[in-house]
Structure 1
Amino acid sequence: MLFIYRILINLILFLSPIIFILRILKKKEHPLRFSEKLCFFSKKRTKGKLIWFHGASVGEILSVIPLIEKLEKNKKIKQVLITSNTLSSSKIISNLKLKKTIHQFFPIDTNYHTNKFLKYWNPAVAIFIDSEIWPNTIINIKKKNIPLVLLNARITKKSFRRWKKFINIAKTLFQKFDTCISSNLESKKYLYFFGAKKIKFFGNLKFSQTEMNENSLSKDFKKTISKKKIWCASSTHESEEILCANVHKKLKNKYKNLLTVIIPRHVHRTEKITNQIKELNLKVHTHEPKKKIQPNTDIYLVNSYGNTKSFFKICKTVFLGGSMIKHGGQNPLEAVRFGCNILHGPNYWNFYEIYNLLNKYEVSFKVKNFKQLSDKVDLMLKKKNNSKNINLKIKKLGNRILNSTLKEINFFINKK
């Protein structure tokens, strides 16, 4: 199986000029830095101990920023290298105020390129985030006796079934890691199945994640809504927008200044959603920075990406979609870090452990139908804002997970 993989990865290398050109045209690749993936490095390696983190994209990288901030204070560490695969993640890193940390794109996973990469950067510890498993890189790291960590490891049921089809290669790769720090108990169970040597579980590192500053809302908008009762339905799927619009319709007689913000998971559905809501005789306002919101607006429909966090800052009751339908729910951590109370439907298997923990902390609440959702929104609108209390709970949990993780990583840093 590894032989077939190596043939395929070399075929990708052969086609890489065409792939890079197409990706540059689609603005998915950096026109000047794409060559980093072929090991033409744009940054210099500082003398001394270097720690290497690799994550696929934005989510994985952001989850380790608090850890990197702590590692930068360690005088033994002279440089931190972050690699990723996507253009968006490189932009995020460039906005961070990290003194010792640099970014490069992850090399194509051929034997030649991984060896060239490891020879140049010579990391004291290699840390792969989430579910990043690259066979040639992993094998060559261990050939050089570099400590290898799988951090915030995540194996879903779907990926477990996929790995199980290639059980021998899966066991070979997972057993290469010196330690696997699991993000949840399900992943821990799967890691045991694949024979991982040392498995730790402290909790999901994303609880300690630092939020980037984001504010796409105008002062006029904030002023207009400051006097309103406001709640938000985010990452909604088909049928969930109408459900939330009906909740608004039921509650608007009780709260004359009620505003419901709906952020669909897929914004291309905006026109259809608008028409459906208008059939309920509700006033819809689509999100445009220069378009003034009218006082009689019922539903504020967000029709573009990149605004969610701004709304989480002002909406302290959030219904997360994909949970009233059989989709498996959406990740609640982003909203929780902004001090939001979370409402979700009965279908949340993609984030089962996170939701159960948040339910235990009385931060998230399950609702099964329209009545339960409208009753819970009503209750939340009456309640005093408890976002500071939520922030304290999550911060305390995040710090515990972060400190336990740091202790484990420091073991390898001090050992090398």
Structure 2
Amino acid sequence: MPSARKKTPTPTFTKSDFHIPYMAFPELLWQLQRVTWRMSSQSSIRSCSKFVSGNIVYGGMAVLRAIPQQNGSRKLQFGGLHRCKSGQCPRCSQILAIRRAKQMEQGIQYWLSSNNEQGQNRGIAFMTLTMGHNPADSAEKLAHAISKARTALTTGGEYRDRKRGDRYNFQIAGIISRIEVTWSQRHGYHFHLHLLLMIDRPLTASDLVNLQARFHHRWQKALAKEGVEADIRQSDIRPVDDFDDASQVLLSQYLNKTAPWNVAKEMTMETRKTGHTKRSWSYFELLTALCTDASTNKQWFPLRKGEIVTWDRPNHLIVSNQTTGEIIAERSMYGKNQLWRVIHELEAVMKGMRPYRVSNKPRTQDSQLDRAWSAFLRNSHGLETNDADTVSKRTGVGEVIGYISPSEWMTNYANHPENIIRTVRADAHI
């Protein structure tokens, strides 16, 4: 009888298993970009920044800009490149996070320094809702469940009814929400939801208790339909009632804490703690570890339009034609390289999820809550804009010090990413 195939064990990793050197953030960003050109499971992410966008502002050229720094030096930055506008792309996620942080600070500043139509102060409740999970749960299952549960929080009479609904009883003008996910080998994928509830009246301790209970009830009921449990003891709610520079920045960064610029500080050990090991990883933490590790950052497989990536085993990936099913390439992944499976699974489930969501702009101004929410959005200067439009509206800063033709970019830079990294490393006193 043929012997049974032995199950390939998945190695156990902590942060200390990766020797991640400190590097300036612009260099790390291009290191991340370079590795996604080779290893992303999404063809759109693989093309981001690889081609010149043809922007008429730059005459169809790529540009090199010098951005002044507070210490008198300058930072070099490339511009005029194609953007994929994906939240899983290092470059586009960075643009999104910086822009959203600024918009959120502006909106929070307005809200907490303004009064409602009765002349009362306004409040903000910051709520976190979690869900049960185990290592056997797929990212696809948990992503579907949390998307359904988030929608259930603000649909139906329990929230929208004008007499008994939470929106009117608690005077909730609007909600900002963000889905986040981490992964660990011991516990698998951990999805959780952060919510900012903008309350158009003074927020009381009783409001916090009742809001948490009522939101968790709908959350728990929706997750149960998907076969997932939720424990209220793992949820949290707290007021945001002190408006100063520090609280603004901390709150905006918390809602964007998985953005590349925050991950860089932790993963490159700029704020290293003796004996610290990391067992739970966000998407960009995993990507940073893989792209800076000598044994993992040279992996590559082909991926063209219409082709998809699947893993039939923890250590084996397949590239196939999405229409015909024809296998284009196969690759066995050993040791730390098996973590690419997690990257690919997260890319797939986050692609169409819309992790970041803002209550819709009111079509009418018939109620006090609608008027209040419209004013909040107006003062946050585009917080409700979708990811693609936010990236598209991002304009370059700094002085243009050089132009690069599309052919030169492809030949000398995209095909030789080490030249990009060498350039951003350079002292920008040009």
The question of a shared fold, defined as TM-score above 0.5 by the shorter chain, is answered with no
More helix by share: 1
Q: TM-score, normalised by structure 1?
A: 0.25
Identify the structure with bigger relative contact order (alpha carbons < 8 Å, sequence gap 6+): 2
Q: TM-score, normalised by structure 2?
A: 0.24
